[in-house]
Amino acid sequence: MLLGANLDNRFVQMEKAFNEIEKQIGAVTRYSSLYETAAWGKEDEPAYLNQVLLVETSLLPLEVLKEINGIENRLGRIRNLKWGSRTIDIDILFYDDEVIESERLMVPHPFLHQRKFALVPLNEIAPYLLHPVLKKRVSALLLEVEDDLLVRKIGD
């Protein structure tokens, strides 16, 4: 899962989302560092914090999505503008090696391979993970990404 926040206290929002995911969805078995990135697609928005979590769950993909939507709502997410600022955003990047294409859910995330802010933290914890559609490892996708936004590890 990819977490992102650029409103309110971003660090607190990320921590709350992490804790809610562990309570509602499953155990976080690995997690990346926090990264700060300029807003993608909307350069006049505040910078985002991003983090990738590897979560072990017994929930089915649509059940995970339902829980994510509940967490986002509880943490104040308002959906009014595509790619607009948000208190929290939680995306499913992969679900095992499944490919899901429905109106409600697309897995792997359809823009993952185009977004450095997702690939950098994912590469930190799972560089050898194979994209089930593109048949490329995360590390290779990161080398190929054309996104030039600066993705800065917090604490470096």
Q: Which amino acid is at 22?
A: E
Q: How many domains does the chain have?
A: 1
Respond yes or no: is residue 77 known to be catalytic.
Answer: yes
pLDDT of residue 17: 97
Which residue among 8, 91, 147, 152 is the active-site one? Answer: 91
Question: pLDDT tens for residues 77-86?
Answer: 776 655 557 8
Respond yes or no: is residue 8 known to be catalytic.
Answer: no
CATH of the domain at 80: 3.30.70.560
- The pair phi, psi for residue 69, each rounded to 5°, is -60, -40
Q: Global pTM?
A: 0.93
Question: pLDDT tens for residues 26-71?
Answer: 999 999 999 999 887 667 788 999 999 999 999 999 999 999 999 9
Question: pLDDT tens for residues 112-150?
Answer: 999 999 999 999 999 999 999 999 999 999 999 999 889
Respond yes or no: is residue 104 known to be catalytic.
Answer: no
Which residue among 8, 44, 77, 96 is the active-site one? Answer: 77
DSSP 45-91: SPPEEEEEEEEEESS-HHHHHHHHHHHHHHTT----STT---S-EEE
Give me the domain span that covers residue 9: 2-153
Burial of 29 (0-12, 13-18, 19+ CB in 10 A): exposed
Question: What mean pLDDT do residues 77-105 have?
Answer: 84
Which residue among 74, 79, 89, 152 is the active-site one? Answer: 89
pLDDT of residue 105: 96
